[in-house]
Structure 1
Amino acid sequence: MESIAKLITIDRSSPVPLYFQFAQQLQQLIESGVLPPGTRLSNEIALADQFGLSRPTMRQAMQHLVDKGLLARKRGVGTQVVTNRIRRHVEFSSLYEDLERDDRHPRTTVLSVATRPADAEVAAALRLDEGADVLAVERLRFADDQPIALMRNHLPAGLVAVTAEALAEGGLYQLLRGSGVDLRSARQAIGARRATAAEAKLLDETRGATLLTMTRTAYDDAGTPVEYGTHVYRASRYSFEMTVAAR
């Protein structure tokens, strides 16, 4: 950490809060590549002593960068610079297809594939009667061997033949298209919430970590709903991007 000590300067006469001075300069070192992904940082107590800051001030600075997705805390490992975030354009494609296109080596663990009665939310999205049979699929998606998304999808029962083996080898949309379903449009919403204990464990995050959420209903060429998905993504490693045009 001696090199960082030479690159970060704290100006105590500045009106800029001390935590933000440190966080901003450390962010610049990360984004410029001086601190590449995977770099381990000293613990907060050592860093506070090294830069002459109070421990609460250093804790606030580090949390600021954790919240921005630049640092990650792991038990037994400490604080590390995160690997490059996956930036996904908001468009009608599957996560698997996007990761393949960006050469991020997608891999899938299929957690469950089962026929279940639709609850009110799923029934409304798929325009089915509540309690009607739907195929429920839950998968954990990896990129470069890092878990990044927990995906839950529902399809009308009997629409296509779906197996765990097929889902492990490719994306759900690829499977739908290969079965003759003509996907034409989708309606989706993006948000954020805290991870549950189970989600945090699967996604290798701390309990209560912020997750990005996306719900999507996909429609075929006749405007019939064919898939309803509710997904959560690691905010520390994943972001959505979109282009907004003036009217």
Structure 2
Amino acid sequence: MDPTDALDLRVDRSSPVPLYFQLAQQLEAAIEHGALTPGSLLGNEIDLAARLGLSRPTVRQAIQSLVDKGLLVRRRGVGTQVVHSQVKRPLELSSLYDDLAAAGRRPSTNVLVNTVVDATVEVAAALGVPEGGDVHRLERLRLAHGEPVAYLCNHLPPGLLDLDTGQLRATGLYRLLRGAGITLHSARQSIGARAAAPAEAERLDEPEGAPLLTMRRTTYDDTGRAVEFGTHLYRPSRYSFEFQLLVRP
């Protein structure tokens, strides 16, 4: 059975919004709200076009727009399949692990590096430690439903807590910090974008040169001490940041 049969899909021919875009928006909403679940196979484009009174090229354009967003994938010999919806993360002091878990996205972690290194100028300035002094360096690949979402690089001051690789695989860094009695209070954060280098593209299952979201964050505890400096890369097809903007009175 085509899962779109259960959806109340409608297009308004009097609207200035293109028909393909109307259909794409409704399919995207169904994916985001769980009406079309990951792994679901969409039915034949011809059948969907006939049911909605649309042309096949219109339906194909709607589906292709969701393929381009990473919400659908075309698999040879299988058909068009729903993949995992994009994670929309609010801009607040929370961890990616907790956000994925709260969204029911089954987070998992590959720990790539867990070691002590010399602090670079940038890391030393962010953490308030001497340049060349010891800092703890973590590199992790965060996955949701087995798909890579983000590459996380974090530096922490020495002696802050015992960073066990097994615990880092099982949970998020902020949970470990809180478990060690550290109260996270605030952070300074910047967001940008850049092209993926070859090794980054391979880790994140993206083409070389693909656009990636970047985030740099320094997190402070309730005493004002810097407890973590992170430089993270995210797949924009799987991840976005949400802002709430207020008008100044």
TM-score tier (shorter): 0.7 to 0.9
Query: What is the Cα deviation at residue 69 of structure 1?
Result: 4.1
Identity of aligned residues (%): 54
Structural mapping, 1:110-149, within 5 Å: 110-149=111-150
The answer to whether the 8 Å contact 2:24/2:65 transfers is: no
**Alignment partners' CA distance in 2, 1:76 and 1:195:** 30
Ranges in structure 2 where 5+ consecutive residues have no aligned partner: 12-16, 43-54
Per-residue CA deviations over 1:134-172 (Å, capped at 9, x if unaligned) read 100011111122211110000011121111111112111
**Alignment partners' CA distance in 2, 1:27 and 1:147:** 25
Match of 1:85 in 2: 86
* 1:108–1:176 distance in 2 versus 1, CA, 3 Å: same
The amino acid across from 2:173 in the alignment is L
The answer to whether the 8 Å contact 1:108/1:167 transfers is: yes
Structural mapping, 1:233-244, within 5 Å: 233-244=234-245
Structural mapping, 1:47-126, within 5 Å: 68-71=69-72, 81-126=82-127
Query: What is the Cα deviation at residue 200 of structure 1?
Result: 1.8
**Alignment partners' CA distance in 1, 2:225 and 2:35:** 51
Ranges in structure 1 where 5+ consecutive residues have no aligned partner: 10-15, 42-50
* 1:218–1:81 distance in 2 versus 1, CA, 3 Å: same
Match of 2:208 in 1: 207
Match of 1:48 in 2: none
**Alignment partners' CA distance in 1, 2:151 and 2:139:** 7
The amino acid across from 2:105 in the alignment is R
Aligned length: 236
- Name the TM-score, length of structure 2 as normaliser: 0.74
Query: What is the Cα deviation at residue 195 of structure 1?
Result: 1.6
SS of 1:239's equivalent in the other structure is strand
**Alignment partners' CA distance in 2, 1:226 and 1:34:** 41
* RMSD over aligned Cα atoms: 3.9
